[in-house]
């Protein structure tokens, strides 16, 4: 487990968070584990907290019995394939067999990861979901860039019936300053054109 964070706009995520001390990261992970143990939870899930920056206290929000869109930043900094591991655990594998790590103490963080999401939202209308046909599209590419996509291509039609997020890219340099610079490059190199209100999370880079 790690403590990734999502922007309030829900268009970017990063791990690990620079403002968390090691003690705070341990605290929030232990709080999540305490909830899981109390209900006998056996597989991948997401426990969400808010942090009061003034009091430095954590406040519980919710538990989702699944991985979420932010899970890829955790995969990048821990080296654990969360999706594969949850399938193996559901098939009866132990945590150690599925992840190569026996317990929380064995989770080691390496480097930094930041996720940028391309979404069909209207920035001129409070970022409400939008739809239409894509007339030109080029995804983020480059050394060290992990790209998750599939429904975005020139000529593709984005409908109102599915999630507005249809592409994610993540640079993963070892140092945080390089990560921030590495994020702007794929955003700047991405091309997406089509209906009047198409937008993307790259605007937050």
* Burial class of residue 200 in the structure, from the number of CB atoms within 10 Å of its CB (0-12 exposed, 13-18 middle, 19+ buried): buried
82 has pLDDT over 70:
yes
Residues 6+ away with beta carbon under 8 Å from 82: 44, 67, 71, 74, 75
- The torsion region of residue 171 among left (phi > 0), alpha (psi -120 to 50) and beta comes to beta
Bond preceding residue 107 cis, omega within 30 of 0 = no
End-to-end Cα separation, the chain, in angstroms: 26
CA distances for 22 relative to 14, 19, 30, 96, 150, angstroms: 16, 10, 12, 24, 37
pLDDT of residue 73: 84
Domains of the chain, first to last? 5-106 (3.30.470.20), 117-204 (no CATH)
Instruction: Provide the 10 A C-beta neighbour count for residue 162.
Output: 12
Catalytic residue among 57, 66, 174, 175: 66
Taking only the tens place, the pLDDT of each residue in 57-67 is 999 999 998 88
pLDDT of residue 92: 93
Going by C-alpha positions, the residue among 17, 191, 46, 171 that lies closest to residue 118 is: 191
pLDDT of residue 125: 80
Q: Is 66 a catalytic site residue? A: yes
pLDDT of residue 12: 60
- Who has greater pLDDT, 32 or 139? 32
Q: Name the DSSP class of 185.
A: H
Taking only the tens place, the pLDDT of each residue in 131-183 is 788 888 777 777 777 777 766 778 888 777 766 665 666 555 544 454 445 45
Question: Whole-structure pTM over 0.75, yes or no?
Answer: no
194 has pLDDT over 60:
no
Going by C-alpha positions, the residue among 88, 78, 55, 87 that lies closest to residue 3 is: 78
């Amino acid at each position: 487990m790690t403590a990734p964070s999502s922007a309030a706009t829900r268009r970017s995520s990063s791990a690990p968070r620079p403002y968390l001390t090691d003690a705070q990261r341990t605290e929030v992970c232990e709080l999540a584990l305490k909830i899981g143990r109390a209900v006998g939870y056996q597989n991948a899930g997401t426990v969400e907290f808010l942090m009061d920056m003034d009091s430095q206290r954590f406040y519980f929000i919710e538990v989702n019995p699944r991985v979420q869109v932010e899970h890829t930043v955790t995969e990048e900094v821990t080296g654990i394939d969360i999706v594969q591991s949850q399938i193996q655990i559901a098939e009866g594998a132990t945590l150690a067999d599925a992840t190569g790590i026996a317990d929380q103490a064995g989770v080691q963080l390496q480097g930094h990861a930041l996720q940028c999401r391309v979404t069909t939202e209207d920035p001129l209308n409070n970022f409400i979901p939008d739809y239409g046909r894509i007339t030109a599209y080029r995804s983020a590419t480059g050394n060290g860039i992990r790209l998750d996509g599939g429904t975005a291509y020139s000529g593709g039609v984005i409908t109102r019936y599915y999630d507005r997020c249809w592409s994610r890219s993540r640079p993963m340099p070892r140092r945080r300053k390089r990560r921030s610079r590495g994020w702007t490059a794929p955003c700047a190199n991405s091309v997406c054109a089509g209906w009047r209100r198409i937008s993307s999370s790259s605007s937050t880079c």
